[in-house]
């Protein structure tokens, strides 16, 4: 069994999403002792912005430059890791109301028509990914965006991630959330404890 562990926080050792994603992986290792874990730290190993040069390469034009060549190799690694993973754990902080641009850059390389999904003539989307994958998102944010708050409409973070995975046919998505992390030590500690309870409740 394979697990793909992705982090995207730029806050290093102070990152809460990194703490939570590592706790989730620890727990998955306990649940599946033979688990094979592949780790990607997008904060230091991030794909370039998808560009006109990438589109040209995809259309079969000759590759220009070493940077583009190695970036396209990285893209292929992202795709291979996604196809092979049974469990995908993503540390996903909210930055400027959505996911970090590093995580968006990863998404830009895995949501590809003809590779991970296809449309049929009726307009229906069909996944090209193997079935049975489980996704666990460690969601962290400074403020609060629950449905009963006045900021709920600004929630383009979990909704976006769930939308992307649903589009790719991945419906088994669990969100572990710690929010209100910027609202003082008490709220922050309570949010982290609550997230750890959510992690303990995850079942195989
Ligand atoms: C660049 C940046 C942008 C942020 N933007 C938001 C935001 O739009 N809304 C919010 O609630 N918190 C925001 N925050 C706070 C983070 O969501 C919070 O610090 C959270 O702990 C980040 O997860 P991390 O600790 O894993 O990096 C931002 C933090 C940073 C560093």
Residue 15: CB within 6 Å of ligand 1? yes
User: Can you give the pLDDT at residue 64?
Assistant: 78
Indicate the helix (H) or strand (E) that contains 118: strand 117-119
User: Can you give the pLDDT at residue 204?
Assistant: 83
**Domain residue limits, the chain:** 2-200
Binding residues for FMN: 9, 15-17, 94-97
Residue 177: CB within 6 Å of ligand 1? no
Nearest CA among 183, 199, 98 for reference residue 143: 183
User: Can you give the pLDDT at residue 79?
Assistant: 98
User: Can you give the pLDDT at residue 58?
Assistant: 86
CATH architecture of 2-200: 3-Layer(aba) Sandwich (3.40)
Which of 41, 93, 181, 188 is the pocket-test mutation for ligand 1 (most atoms within 8 Å of CB)? Answer: 93
Ranges under pLDDT 50 in the chain: none
Which ligand 1 atom is the nearest neighbour of the CA of 91?
A: 26
Residue 144: CB within 6 Å of ligand 1? no
Residue 96: CB within 6 Å of ligand 1? yes
107-110, Cβ contacts within 8 angstroms, sequence gap of 24 or more: 107/164, 108/47, 108/49, 108/50, 109/47, 109/50, 109/74, 109/75, 109/78, 109/79, 110/78, 110/79, 110/82, 110/168
Ligand 1 geometric centre to CA of 143 (Å): 8
Residue 143: CB within 6 Å of ligand 1? yes
User: Can you give the pLDDT at residue 203?
Assistant: 86
Nearest CA among 118, 116, 120 for reference residue 129: 116
The DSSP bridge partners found for residue 136 are: 89, 174
Atom 20 of ligand 1, residue of closest alpha carbon = 141
């Amino acid at each position: 069994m394979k697990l793909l562990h992705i982090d995207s926080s730029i806050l290093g050792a102070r990152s809460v999403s990194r703490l939570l994603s590592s706790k989730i992986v620890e727990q998955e290792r306990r649940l599946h002792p033979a688990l094979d874990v592949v780790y990607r730290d997008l904060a230091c190993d991030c794909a370039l912005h998808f560009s006109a040069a990438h589109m040209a390469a995809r259309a079969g034009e000759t590759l220009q430059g070493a940077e583009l060549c190695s970036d396209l190799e990285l893209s292929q690694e992202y795709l291979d890791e996604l196809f092979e993973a049974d469990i995908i754990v993503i540390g996903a902080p909210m930055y400027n109301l959505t996911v970090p641009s590093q995580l968006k850059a990863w998404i830009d390389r895995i949501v590809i028509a003809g590779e991970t999904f296809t449309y049929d003539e009726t307009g229906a989307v069909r996944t090209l990914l193997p079935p049975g994958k489980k996704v666990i998102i460690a969601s962290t944010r400074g403020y609060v965006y629950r449905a009963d708050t006045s900021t709920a409409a600004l929630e383009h973070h979990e909704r976006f991630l769930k939308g992307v995975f649903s589009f790719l046919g991945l419906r088994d998505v669990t969100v572990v959330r710690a929010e209100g992390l910027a609202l003082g030590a008490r709220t922050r500690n309570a949010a982290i404890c609550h997230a750890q309870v959510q992690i303990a409740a995850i079942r195989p």
